[in-house]
Amino acid sequence: MTQTTWMDATAQAELVRTGQASPAELVDDAIERIERVNPQLHAVLRDRFDAAREEARGDLPAGPFRGVPLLLKDLGCHVAGDETHYGTSFLRDAGFRWPTDSYLARQFRAAGFVFLGRTNVPEFGTTITTEPVANPPARNPWNPGHSTGGSSGGAAAAVAAGLVPVGHASDGGGSIRIPASECGLVGLKPTRARVSHGPDVGESWAGATTDGAITRTVRDAAAVLDAISNPMPGDPYVAPPFARPLADEVGAPVGRLRVGLLDADPGERSLEHPQCRAAVERAGGLLEEIGCVVEPGTPEGMFDEMFSRFFTATIAADTALTLDTFERLVLGRAVADDELEPRNAMYRAVGRQMTAADYLGARAYLGAWVRRMSAFWAPQVLGGQGFDLFVTPTVATPPPELGWFGAAGPEEEGRRIGSFMPYTAQFNVTGQPAISLPLHWTEDGLPVGVQIVAAFGREDVLVRVAAALEQAAPWADRRPPVSA
């Protein structure tokens, strides 16, 4: 069989369609890679290899990714009969198995993917490094002493190391884009409500969270989102439909887009590494080469200090609700504070103290803030600034060493998290699509991602531009030191 290690999901699916490989061969190949390399990375927490082999030899749906192996994040995307632990010790110890597939799992299955197991996450996905107390830390294939990012850190490590071509991911404040940046991958965060949370959840984190994938190529990012972006009947709201499949945007003309390059300082509370600014400057030059008009520009409110306060309030309320739900419906008992990492015990305490008026007040402030931010992309005839895209570093520094975030205690951990991610969470709250692209590496071989943000509902523009940048500055041939 053709060597599949560094083939993307689109290429692997083509092998199956043309009879050059069977789904069983693709799955066996990926299992061998995981068994050989994962002990060095702790990217995959639990496998379902026996079930995957049986499914691959059975009657798979004739979807666009028939037979392609996929790893699911250990947070959300429930699969009937399988465990999902959310990075916690109490769900791990309970051994609870979910009774039904989530709507997202059904869509992945309909696309033809074969699930191989679950990837490492921080507890409840509430931080940006994958170092849960309940499990070993995920290690970065570019340097195993460094973080993979979070919360989709295990997925990113697995894809970067060549274990699988694509990994399920989710994003509530940067959790697709940050691991993609730190592991040298493509991370596309969809528009709000592009991917359904059904049937159990309408929205979470006040609509800030979404699911998607981490990939090695732009064409995979587009085609996977095509496969999972069917609204579920009864969703509270849906994203505007695409004019045509996103996969058709790969290679399409970019046009003369107006691009704003970050020109504002995130403030003294935030880190600002020169390599990250250099990555943005290089991206600006590449964008000009592909025909865009690039100029300085930053949305009003991008670094509003009150934004973080009110967004954190919605996370706290949601964490309290999530824990209450697990206590009532899964465990049948209370979860003690010492069963939680201090960060999440704090979130629950704050969430339980909030009144309904407190929560609605936070939502109201964020709603007004979103309208200020969104003026950056609005037409000038309507009083907006008329930009098509906004470009920032994905994070404020290259991947930090493992242990850096929590080394100085819970309070300092919170400050370090905030200082490291001044650019991503804003676009979870505005609901806009954003993509991280691996356009820069440091001299010592660590990847640095660049974030590009489009107007609400305009993943099509992101994919056209990202595909052109992939052609102008290819990254597919880069291989991390720890890989298959």
Kindly list the distances between the CA atom of residue 254 and the CA atoms of 89, 95, 188, 287, in Å, as whole numbers in the listed order: 47, 49, 18, 10
Annotated catalytic residue 374: no
Q: Would you give the end-to-end CA distance of the chain in angstroms?
A: 16
Catalytic residue among 102, 152, 170, 175: 175
d(CA 199, CA 168) in angstroms, rounded, equals: 18
Helix (H) or strand (E) segment spanning residue 69 = strand 69-73
Query: Which run of H or of E encompasses 353?
Result: helix 342-353
Burial class (CB in 10 A: 0-12, 13-18, 19+), 329: exposed
Q: In whole angstroms, give the CA distance from residue 454 to residue 189.
A: 11
- The one-letter amino acid code at 23 reads P
Select from 197, 189, 192 the least CA-distant residue to 171.
Answer: 189
Q: What is the CA radius of gyration of the chain?
A: 21
Tokens coding 129: 């490094």
- For the chain, the maximum distance between any two Cα atoms, rounded to a whole number of angstroms, is 61
Dihedral sign computed on CA atoms, order 391, 396, 402, 403: negative
Instruction: Give the containing element (helix H, strand E) for 401.
Output: none
Catalytic option among 73, 102, 374, 436: 73
| Angle, alpha carbons 29-33-34 (nearest 5°) | 115
| 312-to-52, 129, 343, 426, 429 alpha-carbon distances in Å | 39, 17, 12, 12, 11
Assess whether 151 carries a catalytic annotation.
yes
CA distance 59 to 203: 33
Place of tokens 């936070």: 362
Please pick, among 102, 147, 151, 152, the residue that the annotation labels catalytic.
151
The strand pair at 389-393 and 114-119 is best described as unpaired
Measure the CA–CA gap between 306 and 46, rounded to whole angstroms.
Answer: 40
Decide: 421 and 178 in contact? Cβ < 8 Å. yes
**Burial level of 430, CB count in 10 A (0-12/13-18/19+)?**
buried
Please indicate whether residue 189 is annotated as part of the active site. Answer: no
* Cβ contact 296:376 at 8 Å: no
Write a three-state SS string for 1-63.
Answer: CCCCCCCCHHHHHHHHHCCCCCHHHHHHHHHHHHHHHHHHHCCEEEECHHHHHHHHCCCCCCC
Active site members: 73, 151, 175
